[in-house]
């Protein structure tokens, strides 16, 4: 009988050992939490627009205007069933090259906001400033929508004061935008976050806006008189004020606004 060569026996033994190890490894269940996702399994659930907290309220809400190097950006959201169904920029940089950047980037940002259901969206290439302003105003709108959502009956939070910003009203001398704080169904504070400025408008604004703010709080509605000498500013103020009250909900000016 021929004896096996010692080197051959060593090679065969090594091969058998390697085969056994491979077999054991192939039978070992995966324990890495990320292995399912890496293999094409379901990824972790994305963060909801509520951020794990209070849901966002239905309706239309406009975020604060975000100032950028090339102009203001302001986002308006439409919410239905606690989800963003529409996003649009009511203000965006314009003039010169900004027109092209805005027309190219804003539709993409609008689409991204609806898809992400949050302000966690990527900037559009070539529109960094506009994208950052958009995200800032978008987050502001989400915060307002969340604040306007009905309180959980079991939370005891049934009379929470909230601050709402009305839509921008364009006037002959510039935009007017009003922010109100509502507590217990009453306006406790009103302020103009945008008003005509430059030249004679500075004097008109400084004189008229404080009077309009005071009148809004006293009236508890948008049914206020125009300030003499500031007809356009007063009309824009009332328009934006009514928009803010519509978003806040409740009874204002003797009628149900929501």
Q: In the prediction, which pLDDT does 221 show?
A: 87
Chain centroid to Cα 135, Å, comes to 7
Q: CA–CA separation, 162 vs 215, rounded Å?
A: 19
pLDDT digits (tens, 9 = 90+) for 149-180: 665 544 444 456 788 888 999 999 999 999 99
As given in the structure block, the two tokens for residue 102 are: 């805005």
Q: Is the pTM of this model over 0.85?
A: no
pLDDT band at 255; cut points 50, 70, 90: very low
| Phi and psi based region of residue 46 (left: phi greater than 0; alpha: psi -120 to 50; beta: remaining) | beta
Bigger pLDDT: 46 vs 3: 3
Q: In the prediction, which pLDDT does 257 show?
A: 35
Q: In the prediction, which pLDDT does 37 show?
A: 30
| Phi, psi dihedral angles at 41 (to 5 degrees) | -75, 180
In the chain, where does DSSP find H-type helix? 6-27, 35-38, 97-116, 128-147, 200-219, 231-248
The residue assigned the tokens 């966002």 is 56
pLDDT of 64 strictly over 50:
yes
Please, are residues 215 and 224 in contact by the beta-carbon 8 Å criterion? yes
Q: In the prediction, which pLDDT does 185 show?
A: 77
Chain centroid to Cα 2, Å, comes to 83
Q: CA–CA separation, 57 vs 84, rounded Å?
A: 10
pLDDT digits (tens, 9 = 90+) for 104-146: 999 999 999 999 988 999 999 999 999 999 999 999 888 888 8
Q: Is 240 exposed, middle or buried (0-12, 13-18, 19+ CB in 10 A)?
A: buried
Bigger pLDDT: 187 vs 36: 187
Sign of the C-alpha dihedral, residues 181, 187, 188, 193? positive
Please, are residues 220 and 186 in contact by the beta-carbon 8 Å criterion? yes
pLDDT digits (tens, 9 = 90+) for 224-235: 999 999 999 999
């Amino acid at each position: 009988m021929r004896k096996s060569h010692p080197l051959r026996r060593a090679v065969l033994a090594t091969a058998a050992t390697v085969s056994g190890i491979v077999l054991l490894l192939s039978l070992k269940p995966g324990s890495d939490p990320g292995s399912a996702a890496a293999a094409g399994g379901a990824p972790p659930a994305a963060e909801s627009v509520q951020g794990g907290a209070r849901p966002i309220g239905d309706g239309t809400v406009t975020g604060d205007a975000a100032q950028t190097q090339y102009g203001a950006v302001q986002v308006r959201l439409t919410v239905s069933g606690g989800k963003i169904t529409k996003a649009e920029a009511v203000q965006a940089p314009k003039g010169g090259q900004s027109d092209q950047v805005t027309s190219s980037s804003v539709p993409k940002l609008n689409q991204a906001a609806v898809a992400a259901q949050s302000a966690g969206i990527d900037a559009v290439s070539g529109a960094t400033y506009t994208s950052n302003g958009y995200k800032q105003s978008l987050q502001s709108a989400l915060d307002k929508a969340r604040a306007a959502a009905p309180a959980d009956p079991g939370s005891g939070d049934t009379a929470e004061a909230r601050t709402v910003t009305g839509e921008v009203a364009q006037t002959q001398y510039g935009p007017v935008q009003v922010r109100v704080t509502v507590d217990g169904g009453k306006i406790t504070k009103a302020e103009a976050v945008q008003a005509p400025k430059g030249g004679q408008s500075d004097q008109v604004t400084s004189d008229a806006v404080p009077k309009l703010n005071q009148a809004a709080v006293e009236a508890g509605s948008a049914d206020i008189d125009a300030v003499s000498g500031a007809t356009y500013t007063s009309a824009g103020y009332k328009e934006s004020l009514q928009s803010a009250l519509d978003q806040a909900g409740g009874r204002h000016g003797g009628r149900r606004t929501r």
